[in-house]
Structure formats: C-alpha cells, structure tokens
Amino acid sequence: MIRVARVADVPALREIERAAGEPFRAIGLDVVADDDPPPAAVLAAYVVAGRAWVAQRSAGGTGDGGPLVGYLIADLVDGCAHVEQVSVLPSQRGRRIGEGLVEHLAGWARDRGLPALTLTTYRDVPWNGPYWARLGFRELIAPGPELRAIREHEAARGLDVWPRLAMRRELAGS
C-alpha cells in the first residue's frame, strides 16, 4: 500500500535509506553506502509539503499498520516532478515497490498538470540507470538550470565517482 508519509514516519525513512545504501558497497560505491540519510528536519519538510510517500506492508489484513518498506520524496524542478529520492529495503527488492512509488508520483504530477518526471542516477548501476530506462525514463541531454544545479551539487558531494546522468519520463495526459 502506498500512502502519504507522516511526520511520525521520518525515523523509519532514515532507516530505510541507510539499508538501501548498503548494496552499493558491494560494487565499490562506498560513498553512497556511507552517505548519511537526509536529516530528519529535511524529510519532515517534504512530509509537511505533501511531497513524501511511503510503501507500507499491511499488518496481516488491509489498511496500514505494517512496516514501512520504501519511500519517495519529490521536488518541483524545472517545471517537472523530480524524484529527489526513492529507496526500498533491500529485502523487498523485486516486488515492484519502487515502481509503485514512482507510478504514484506520476499520478500526482498528472493531477497537477506537470509534463514529466525527472531524476538523477548512476548510469551503469543495474538498479539505477537500466532500471529507470525500463520504467520509461530516457537520458536528458540538455537538462534545465535547476536540474543542472542538482547535478553540480551531487558532483560537489563526491557522488560522481561513477558516471551519473539526468533522466526524464514524459507523462501522457498532462
């Protein structure tokens, strides 16, 4: 089940982020694995702004109450809905949780008349660039000024140890 995140979810989001970074260690991207999750205040600001969603396992029935297994936070960047972060517990991989969160964001963006989703990612990490391409994202050769600023910030944080790129997915019906 996907729902709007609550401020009370913030500690769990930080734990999901820590766990989701660990697989990067196995491919030599310790810089990602060692990167701290967003501060609680930053995540809470996304929640308050209505731009944070969680994937939650049911507690044996329907409705919420089960553990959180993933989350997505979004920004508005160059007039598009930008996937700032989407993270899923490694134990939940292959269950299309990340895809469900992205599709939820796509619906949110369509409802607001936004033309596309954007994100930045590692080009060659299998659960990054190739994964996003399977979800309909294409490399963005000429990103707008806000997306360029995001890429510059990522480079300054040392995230460019492997090739990164900006991607965009057009939204039909926007």
Domains of the chain: 2-170 (3.40.630.30)
Tens-digit pLDDT profile for residues 14-41: 999 999 999 989 998 888 888 889 999 9
Q: What is the mean pLDDT of the chain?
A: 92
pLDDT at 60 over 80: no
The pLDDT assigned to 91 comes to 95
Rounded to an integer, the average pLDDT of 65-90 is: 96
Confidence class of residue 63 from pLDDT cuts 50, 70 and 90? low
In 3D space, the residue among 77, 82, 64, 93 whose CA is nearest the CA of residue 6 turns out to be: 64
- Which amino acid appears at position 22 of this protein? E
- For residues 17 and 58, the model is more confident at 17
Query: Is-contact 99 135, C-beta < 8 A?
Result: yes
> pTM above 0.85?
yes
Classified as helix, coil or strand, 88 is strand
pLDDT at 82 over 80: yes
| pLDDT at position 86 over 90 | yes
Q: State the residue for tokens 């049911």.
A: 58
Residue 145 CB coordination number (10 Å): 9
- For residue range 91-128, list pLDDT tens digits in order: 999 999 999 999 999 999 999 999 999 999 988 888 88
126-164 tens-digit pLDDT: 888 899 999 999 999 999 999 999 988 888 887 777 788
How would you label 9-42 residue by residue, b for 16+ Cβ within 10 Å and e otherwise? bbebbbebbebbbebbeeeebebbbebebbeeee
Region class of 17: left (phi > 0), else alpha (psi between -120 and 50), else beta: alpha
pLDDT at 69: 98
Strand ranges (DSSP E) for 57-139?
68-77, 80-88, 116-122, 138-139
